[in-house]
Each structure stands twice: as C-alpha cells, then as structure tokens.
Structure 1
C-alpha cells in the first residue's frame, strides 16, 4: 500500500548545510515550547557548537529540549557536548551506546540513522544531513553534497508524534523504566500550503520495509524516467529487478553515485554491479566534485523522496530511517533540477567496458569487496528479510 499522502503542507528544499543550518538555527532560536532533534552524527566542529549553543539558549528560556544521538555515529557526543547541554537543562541521550564493545551482532548494528528535527510542533526538518559542517572532511572531498526539507503544515504532527515515541523508547532502553513525556500532544498544525507528502519510516517492528516498498511502488509505476542520487548503493534482488524492468520497458534510468567515498569497500562492491546495469541500459554517473551524501530520487517528475535511507541492505533492512515521500510536481521538478545541475557540473558518466580494461588486481579487489559486504549483510540481517 502506498504511504499516506497528507495534503496542505509547505515544503522547502534545502541543499547541503549552507541552506539547511541557517534554517535549522533560526527555527531553534524561535522555539517557545519544545524541540526534538535526532542525528546519527553530531560532530564537534563549528556546526555542532552552533547547534548546541542554540539548544542551550532554548532550554535556558524554558523550552523543553530533547536530543537523541546514535551511540556509534555520535560516540564522541558524551565527551564533547553532553555536560554543556545537561547543565543548560537539555535532555539528551545516546541510542545504543554499547556499540563501543563491538561484536558482529544484529541488534548492535541497528543504528539510529535518522536526521530529524521538530520545533514547537509547527516546523520540521528531514533529510540526510547530520549535525556536521560541510567542510568537516578531507580537502579533496569538501563540501558535502546533500539535501534536507523544511516541512510546515499538517504532516509535522505525524513527525512530531513519531519523534516523541522514539524519545520514550530510547529513554526506556537507557534507564530501564517507563518514560512518558508529560506535555500533551499539540494540535495538528493548520494547512499552510498545497503540497502533499508522506512521512515514511523504517524500523524493526511494523515498518520494516516501508521505505523499500515506497521505492518499489514508484519504480514499478514509472513510465518516463527515474533519477536516483544515493551515497551508498547496493540494492537487493527486488530493487535491482525493478530497475532492470523499468529500463526494459523504455524508462530512462539514471543513477548518481559517489566518486569520492569515505567507505571504499562499499564503493568497490557497488562497482561490481556496473557492467550488468550498463548492459541493461541504465546510466550510471559518479560524482567527483566533492563528497556525495544525498539520498534522493525523482520519478516521472511527479514523485520524489528525500531522506536518510541509503539503498543498501543496512539502511533498507536494519537501521532506523526516515524519508519524506512527496507527490507534488513542483517539488519534484525543483529537486530534479538540482540533481541535474550536479550531474552537469561534477559527475562523470561510466562507460561499458571501463572496468574490464582495468588490471586484474583491481577487478579482483572489487569482487572481493562485493563478497565481503554481502557476507557481512547475510550474517547480521534478519532471516525474514524482504529484499533477497
């Protein structure tokens, strides 16, 4: 069943931190009732310090502030920021902090990969952007290229409710007691625009395949074109078959992937898929201008998604993720124009035979990487996974 589209919203597309963080900081400084913020990474850099200062200012003026950071992605958060935040009255927690004692066990790899914020139940942010400066990367990878969306309207209530519930779950896991937010659930915000969108999550209970199924439904109904920009791309069988079937029926399929990666093993594994994809008529590009971290897609100029979920087994079948799925031509066309600009200014198109001409050690490295990633996925993913 397609995700429920909620009408009456105003959606603002934000490209990378240069557009996202000024909007987020302004919203934090305008808060008068409550703030919920979730992030996978919370870096001790100029952005992390600016966001923390805004959260402290809000708490000191009486705003209830709740921050949840992943225990692996934000493993330095307790030393870098927790004392400062707690002293100001911010309530902050780690999701699964026991990851420091790493063993290859499924529950420890179920990370909080979402990037969300809701302020006063009236304005929300969703996307792939962590609390980290775009330039907090090696010089050749700066700046990060990513997207988020500012949401205003009735959809905010659903996002707010979900984040409140997440806070209660993490609080129970950390303190081993039932924890309920004492304030009452605010009313649904009024309609402020004419855009429809759905808030789609992936968890390990009732929504294990919701993001995957949203992609599959849209790909299977595509008639003209599919444009995907995704940082970590290693699709399962059903996703791959859906893309191949779309290409066979004449849909133009373009995929923008990383040309500069912080996880070379996964990038090498992904490159083993290029030969068959190119042979099927799928166009593949690598973004070489800087570090691609986006997780977005546009289909037929009417359907779009922006969120935290990569198209790999760990995001689609293990981590907690959140995507916005938008049924609005104006938004889809705006996002497509931005990705087209990235294709034109910073991407290189992959050509058939390019990797076959490489020396055999390079080819062997890629196949070995693919085998290792698939082995790791098979060891830790649920036995009833839905994409194999």
Structure 2
C-alpha cells in the first residue's frame, strides 16, 4: 500500500470520496465516449482543448457540438490560440451559428507567418457534460490519436469520471470562462453558483483530487503531487511521460527512491514526434540508470501519455508533461486517483507496453563518460535545478479569452503543433 497521504500537496485541497474513474486508452476508446456523451447531453456541454484540427476527428466534434447547440443546450468550446491556430472561418461560423460559444485562449497575431505567443499556453484537455460526467487527460481532437493515422499515431490516455469530483471540475471550467470578463461573464458566475449547489451523488469508491497548474496561485501543485508520491513510495513507481525533462527535485526524488529499493521505471519516447525530445531526455539517462532507475523507450509509435502510478493505490492521468513548459509555464490539469482497482488497471496497461512495445535501456547502451560529458552533465543539472526560477522572469500577462463570433480568415489548414 502506498505511503502517500498528503492532503496539502495542492494548496490544501482534500480527497473527494465516492467517485468512479475509468481509464480510456487512445482515441479509439476516448472519442466515441466523448461524442456519445455530447449527443446524450440534456443541459450543458463544456469542452477545453489545446488542439482542435479540421480533420475527421475535429469534424466529428464539430457535428456533435453543433447538434447540441441546435437542441438549445448551453455549449462552450475553449481552444488555445497557439495549439489551434488555423481553424477556417467556415468551421467557426458553423459552430457559432448553431449557438456554440467559441473562445480562444490568448489569441495572437502572426509575425512574418510565425506565432509569437508560444508560452503560457492553455494545455488542458477537459470535457464536462451536464455537470455530472467529466473527461480529463492528454488526448486532443485530432486524427493522429487514432491507429489508422499510421506510424505517427500517438499513444495516449484519458479518464472518464462520475461522482462528487465532477462538481469540482464543473465549477473550475465555469470559473475559467467567468474570470475572463466581458460579455456574458455575469451569466457564467450565476452558473458557477448553480453548480456549487448541485453536488453529485457517489458513483464509486475512488478518492480523487482535481489538480491544476496556473501562473498565479497553483504554480507547482502537479509537481508537488508527483514529489509526494515518489518520496513516499515503498514498492514501485512507474511514470510514462511524452516530454521528459523534469526539474532537479523530481530527478533527485527518483534517484533516492531507486536507491532505497523502490522499483522506479520510466517509459519515455523511443520514436518521438520531435527528435529534440529524445535528445533532451537521454541527457539524463546516465544519472538515472546509475541510481537504479529502469528506463524503457516506447518504440512502436510516438508516446503522448502523461500518466504515472505509485505502489498499489496512487495514480495520475492528465495533460501535464514533466518538462519546463508543463511544470513552469502552461495551464494544465491532472486528476490524482487513490484506488487499488484503477491503479491495477493502469499498471497492467503500462506493463503491457514495457513487455511488448518498449526497449529497455541498459548502461551498456550508453556512450562512455568523457570530459565533455561531465561538463555537459554539470550544466544540465544546474539548469534543471534553477529553471523554475528563471522562467518566472518571463511575462506573466493576464491571458484573455476572446469570443469568436465573426471569424476572419486565418489562412491554411490545420498543422501539427509541438509539445501537445
């Protein structure tokens, strides 16, 4: 059993009892569940996503949201200005004409064809339907989350949640819209009050925390949950993460756990969607392997997951990578789950990856230490130790949500976006 008991890793938030949590793997499991939930909605649908493309998946979401809007439901779609930069006017107007409220997080203009607002991104992936069903994870609305996309199809995870925790997630997404101000803000504040008075009945036995990262009050909550779980682990820690370049504290916690006999395993990208991802992670291999951490590279296709487990109860699924963008810049959302059955399910899925789709990295696979490697290692470790302070110097502007009612042409079709 996990020794993890901290109720204060997320600014004093406590565990919410009585929830049902279901693991959804890849688009094949995720998209049908979300689209069916939207089609069956009776009052309200709220969708937040980093990436929305005009491909077959984006068109299915578009159709489901438009149909819900035409039925008179309150339908809200929040996309990120960097992650979803090239939606056509026809795509947007189809939504707005059906009554869907479309908002863009931190929209930015192009400079010589390039977007400059690459930091402080809204990286969350959340759906709430009728205040009683929620989806949280790392899966965007794009066809590259389906196996038939080909060799570049992504391996990823999300969860479907019912129970009291959904009321908290519902209030959060309503608040995210209300704090932006402008037209309709007072209406959303009324919806928050309505949601606060509507507690969902227990639906299962899982304890859950909904944990977010922002650039104000909750700057390191997700990282602190990881640290607490790793430091208190007694049997095993498994982390599957797409973009792995964590801070000094996380590296130190993994090394110490492995040295005290915990089975610490990392599943990282072996066939990355961006080569720099593998290069950055591999710089840490010597330090981790020599401390006893086991490293597996997932080689079947690009890994996009952001999941982890500790011992036999603690698990997390969400949008947060373990890299500088997610830990120090982006707006993220994870769920932390304390439940043996869910932990076992996640372990079985990750163990299957390690057994059948990964290459285990051995110390003999790495090049020998050299003077240059020692110097490089010194600078990397100090970069990891101090980058949270350095990125804090970047502009902490108040990101805005811009309603899209009469979209102007943005040019081009959807393009792939990095670090999704």
Structure 1-normalised TM-score? 0.89
Q: Which stretch shifts more, 263-272 or 10-19?
A: 263-272
Q: Choose the corresponding residue for 1:185, options 173, 194, 201.
A: 194
Q: Choose the corresponding residue for 1:247, options 217, 234, 258.
A: 258
Match of 2:361 in 1: 350
CA distance, structure 1, for counterparts of residue 43 and residue 359 of structure 2: 47
Once the two structures are superposed, residues 343-362 of structure 1 have per-residue CA deviations (whole angstroms, 9 ceiling, x without a partner) of: 1111001111323169x99x
CA contact (8 A) 2:42 2:130 kept: yes
Aligned pairs for 1:202-221 (under 5 A) are: 202-221=213-232
Instruction: Tell me how far 1:217 sits from its aligned partner.
Output: 0.6
Q: Name the structure, 1 or 2, with higher relative contact order (CA <8 Å, separation 6+).
A: 2
Match of 2:412 in 1: none
CA distance, structure 2, for counterparts of residue 137 and residue 99 of structure 1: 34
Match of 1:56 in 2: 66
CA distance, structure 2, for counterparts of residue 348 and residue 291 of structure 1: 14
Q: Choose the corresponding residue for 1:81, options 88, 91, 95.
A: 91
CA distance, structure 1, for counterparts of residue 26 and residue 336 of structure 2: 19
Match of 1:293 in 2: 304
CA contact (8 A) 2:27 2:146 kept: no
Once the two structures are superposed, residues 24-51 of structure 1 have per-residue CA deviations (whole angstroms, 9 ceiling, x without a partner) of: 0110001111111000000111111001
Instruction: Tell me how far 1:301 sits from its aligned partner.
Output: 1.6
CA distance, structure 2, for counterparts of residue 261 and residue 376 of structure 1: 26
Does residue 332 of structure 2 align to residue 334 of structure 1? no
Q: Which stretch shifts more, 2-11 or 122-131?
A: 2-11
CA distance, structure 1, for counterparts of residue 43 and residue 149 of structure 2: 39
Q: 1:338 to 1:99 in 2, by over 3 A?
A: farther
Match of 1:38 in 2: 48
> Per the alignment, in what secondary structure is the counterpart of residue 98 of structure 1?
coil
CA distance, structure 1, for counterparts of residue 90 and residue 361 of structure 2: 42
Match of 1:117 in 2: 127
Does residue 187 of structure 2 align to residue 168 of structure 1? no
Q: 1:103 to 1:90 in 2, by over 3 A?
A: closer
Taking only aligned residues, the RMSD between alpha carbons, in angstroms, comes to 2.9
Q: Which stretch shifts more, 253-262 or 128-137?
A: 128-137
Structure 2-normalised TM-score? 0.82
Match of 2:326 in 1: 315
| Runs (5+) with no aligned partner, structure 2 | 1-7, 395-420
Q: 1:179 to 1:4 in 2, by over 3 A?
A: same
Instruction: Tell me how far 1:168 sits from its aligned partner.
Output: 2.0
Instruction: Tell me how far 1:169 sits from its aligned partner.
Output: 3.2
